[in-house]
Structure 1
Amino acid sequence: MASFSQRSNGKWQAKIRRQGWPDQSKAFQTLEAAQQWARATEREMDIGAFINRNDAEKTTFADAAKRYKTEILPSKRGKDRDIYKIDQLVEKFGAYSLASINPAMLSAFRDERLKAVAPQTVVHEINMLSRIFKACAMDWGIALPQGIPTALVRKPPVANARDRRLESGEWELLRAALADCKSQFPLAAVEFAIATAARQSEIASLTWQDVDLSRQTARLRGVNGAVTKNGDTHRDVPLSSSAVAILSGLPKAIKGKVFRVTQNALKLSWQRSVDRARQAHIHAKLREALVKSGLDDRATAAEIRALIYHKKAPRPETLDLLAKIEASDTTLADLHFHDLRHEATSRLAEKLQMHELMKVTGHKSSSMTARYYHPRATDLAQKLG
């Protein structure tokens, strides 16, 4: 039976004591509001639908996020990225109690974020919210009166499938740019990726202890030697003669990394090399166009120098030509390091059967492997004869 009392501050407190249920109390501005809450709560108890909201109302999202970072996140991969993601979510929802966060609020957050970031980023953020709410409900016993709110939030569609491979002439340009790096390891790492379909993290983590050149095998691991992206402790891959030649050309040690470069440094070297290679290609095309337009070799060279060193502004006509070439020529445009895995898988598919290919790439299903297989129509035509 509910009882009501007025506090010294003027608020009305409702108390419910019922056998078999935890005591409930809540303060309201008016007696009518207190009575309505008491009737609704007792009705839920009568039909067995009552959920104790106390913990969810007392716990803010910031509290839950902090506990998640302390107790659960350390065992997860990619925790550094997740910490940043959680901090961003705390800025938005930190002051709200868990009981007050509802699907409508999360849907509005989704729509707002889609105006600023890619759909994939929004999906990752919704997934992080879901993991925190699940930890509250399943691991910490915090009953959520509305259930896990992300369950009723539609995730934005993500079109992230890629079919990018190296096109004609791109490898020659890229190889020349990589060869200009101060270290030999970026070029060797890229060549190894094309030969083995290894991920960037697996290449950066490869140690000489996991390489057997005599048996032509290598054991690939994840970031800093941890599990691979698919959750396996490691993946043994065969090494082709070209892969063996790449490794044989590197300084060998009993212990230590094969490619003496961090994953971040490899990422930077890759992007800078792609940018340099594309710039060299575009400038070569521009040089041809300038000569065709009537400029002599000296004037053409001066225009290219002006673009590279910015000491003198090039002619407006040159800038117009440059803009047209950049818009029409896609050589080395939108090329990611992970696209090399697509390139390698497509090449290996010409020599290996599907079940063999899956062992090399580490994919758990043939459908995922198929996402990385992009045969060229001209190559298939040659097989047909």
Structure 2
Amino acid sequence: MATVNKRPSGKWQAMVRKDGRSHSKTFTKRADAVKWARETEMLAEQGLLQQTAAGVVSNMSLGQVLERYRDEVTSNKRCVENETYAINGFMRSCKKLSGKRIDKLTTADFVAHRDHRMQRVKPATVVRELGWMQHAIDIACSDWGQRVRDGNPVKQVRRPRVHNGRERRLQAGEWQALLEAVNEARLPLMKPLLRLALETGMRRGELLSMQWMHVDMERCTVFLPLTKNGCARTVPLSPRAMNVLAELPRTEDRCLPLSGNSVRLAFDRLRTRAGVVDITFHDMRHEAVSRFVESGLSLAQVQMISGHRDLRMLMRYTHLQTDDIVAKLHAIGQQVTA
């Protein structure tokens, strides 16, 4: 049975199922997908599909596997934009490794790639890259008829240790410098994006996916049906956050119709223009959570706002409550003495 479906990426996937096995291919044009589906379905009826398919897939290179993985698997993930960008970048910059057949790949190939990348990017980036490469090869073997020697070669690669903890806070004058840089660069939506990030502690992806239908101006909340950790949550909005939303035009479903990549590039330019060193967009979230704690909110209340699943993730902010705790202990001591 043949089916043709449009993918989130805008491409068309044709799939033919026969005797419990499926064969699929992705096309830019629907007409090409329909044509391939009809021809493949005919081969299946004649009993020639397995032989033909096997002859094609046995020669897939890593680049071909990743391209198909990007179109058929990544396109259905929440991180579709970031992973698509990463896969495209890998195929452009690592042509030698991309051009190698996966049945010829060894663990040593990926160890060399890991060591090369570690000189240029952070450990977390390397771990993510190895993750989707390993998954792509697993899918190619389980679903696309590929064969590799001695198991998936990426699985045996030792992952670098990730140190994601950052304590970067905004220093005096940096916030104003960033806002002034936004005005100079004439990026109208970046200013409200930055202000909302600082007021809500929401992640970049959560801010960009925020829809007007989920904003409750009366209750001063916004509902996030899909977050990074997979748990929906309702975020309370401060008066300043409400003012930012009230000033935004409602011309599209999303409150901030920007792409993640455009925000990344724009923030890099703003940081350079403002002369603010070693700060990331995600540091706005750390700054916001720090301010929540400093305002006197309990860690449980902050957890409700920020969406951290594990309270232990917030324990690094407890030092910010030290002065408040000391003041309360002194107050208790004075009452006892009296």
TM-score range, shorter chain: 0.5 to 0.7
Match status 1:277 vs 2:219: no
Q: Please give the alpha-carbon distance, in whole angstroms, between the structure 1 residues aligned to 2:249 and 2:67.
A: 44
Residues 138/358 of structure 1: CA separation in 2 closer, same or farther (3 Å cut): farther
Q: Is the 8 A contact 2:267 2:281 kept in 1?
A: yes
Shift of residue 238, structure 1, vs aligned partner: 0.6
CA contact (8 A) 2:222 2:235 kept: yes
Corresponding position of 1:29: none
1:231 paired to 2:230: yes
The C-alpha deviation readout for 1:200-245, integer Å capped at 9, x for no partner, is 2332333332211211101236xxxxx432234x532111222223
2:295 aligned with 1:353 = no
- Opposite residue 158 of structure 1, the aligned amino acid is V
Report the Cα offset of residue 342 of structure 1: 0.2
Residues 150 and 202 of structure 1, relative CA distance in 2, 3 Å threshold: same
* Residues 132, 337 of structure 1: alpha-carbon distance in 2 compared, 3 angstrom cutoff: same
What per-residue deviation string (whole Å, max 9, x for no partner) do you get for residues 157-177 of structure 1? 333321111123333433444
1:186 to 190, 194, 198: 190
Instruction: Give the equivalent residue in structure 2 for 1:220.
Output: 224
8 Å Cα contact 2:57-2:145 kept in structure 1: no
CA–CA distance in structure 2, aligned partners of residues 339 and 247 of structure 1:
22
Q: Show structure 2 runs of 5+ residues with no match.
A: 1-54, 328-338
Percent identity of paired positions between Structure 1 and Structure 2: 30
Amino acid at match of 1:188: P
The answer for the alignment partner of 1:68 in structure 2 is 69
Shift of 1:256: 3.9
Counterpart AA for 2:322? L
Q: Is the 8 A contact 2:58 2:146 kept in 1?
A: no
Is 1:159–2:163 an aligned residue pair? yes
User: Considering only aligned residues, what root-mean-square deviation do their CA atoms show, in Å?
Assistant: 3.4
In structure 2, relative to structure 1, the CA distance for the partners of 1:73 and 1:107 (3 Å cut) is same
Partner residue in 1 for 2:52? none
Q: 1:154 to 1:72 in 2, by over 3 A?
A: same
- CA–CA separation in structure 1 for the residues paired with 2:159 and 2:181: 40
- What are the ranges of 5 or more consecutive residues in structure 1 without an aligned counterpart? 1-53, 222-226, 279-331
- The question of whether the paired residues in 1 share the 8 Å contact of 2:170 and 2:287 is answered with yes
Output the CA distance in 1 between the equivalents of 2:75 and 2:259. Answer: 22
Q: How far apart in 2 are the matches of 1:181 and 1:188?
A: 14
Once the two structures are superposed, the pairs formed by residues 258-277 of structure 1 within 5 Å of their partners are 258-259=255-256, 263-277=260-274
CA positional deviation for 1:84:
0.9
Q: 1:229 to 1:173 in 2, by over 3 A?
A: same
Alignment of 1:282-321 (within 5 A): none
- In structure 1, what is the Cα distance between the partners aligned to 2:146 and 2:229? 31
One-letter amino acid matched to 2:228: K
Superposition deviation, residue 334 in structure 1: 0.8
Of 322, 344, 349, which residue of structure 1 is paired with 2:288?
344
For the 8 Å contact 1:193–1:199, the answer to whether it is kept is yes
CA contact (8 A) 1:218 1:237 kept: yes
CA contact (8 A) 1:196 1:237 kept: yes
Q: Offset at 1:343?
A: 0.6
Give deviations 1:263-308, integer Å, cap 9, x for gaps. Answer: 5554455444433333xxxxxxxxxxxxxxxxxxxxxxxxxxxxxx
3-state secondary structure, aligned to 1:349? helix
Distance 1:260 1:240 in 2: 22
TM-score by structure 2 length? 0.66
Q: TM-score, normalised by structure 1?
A: 0.59
Tell me if the contact between 2:201 and 2:289 (Cα under 8 Å) persists in the aligned partners. yes
The 1:57–1:189 alpha-carbon spacing in structure 2 relative to 1, beyond 3 Å, is: closer
Structure 1 runs (4+) greater than 6 angstroms displaced: 54-57
Q: C-alpha deviations, 1:57-86, integer Å up to 9, x for none?
A: 755434433442343232122342143145
CA contact (8 A) 1:64 1:136 kept: yes
Name which of 108, 133, 142 aligns with 1:104. Answer: 108
Q: Is the 8 A contact 1:55 1:142 kept in 2?
A: no
Do the aligned residues in 2 keep the contact of 1:85 with 1:125 (CA within 8 Å)? no
Distance 1:105 1:246, change over 3 A: closer
Q: Secondary structure at the match of 1:218?
A: strand
Which of the pair has more CA radius of gyration?
1
**Which residues in structure 2 correspond to 1:62-211 (within 5 Å)?**
62-76=63-77, 77-78=80-81, 79-88=83-92, 91-140=95-144, 142-180=146-184, 182=186, 185-211=189-215
Map of 1:284 onto structure 2? none
Task: Judge conservation of contact 1:346–1:375 (CA < 8 Å) in 2.
Answer: no
Equivalent in the alignment of 2:240: 242
Cα drift, residue 333 of structure 1: 1.5
Q: How many residues align?
A: 270
Q: Which AA in structure 2 matches 1:138?
A: S
Aligned letter for 1:235? R
For the residues of structure 2 that align with 1:164 and 1:266, how far apart are their CA atoms? 20
CA distance in 1, matches of 2:258, 2:58: 49
Q: 1:254 to 1:80 in 2, by over 3 A?
A: closer
8 Å CA contact 2:107, 2:156 repeated in 1: yes
Structure 1 residues 375 and 188, CA, compared in 2 at 3 Å: closer, same or farther? farther
> Residue 365 of structure 1 aligns with which residue?
310
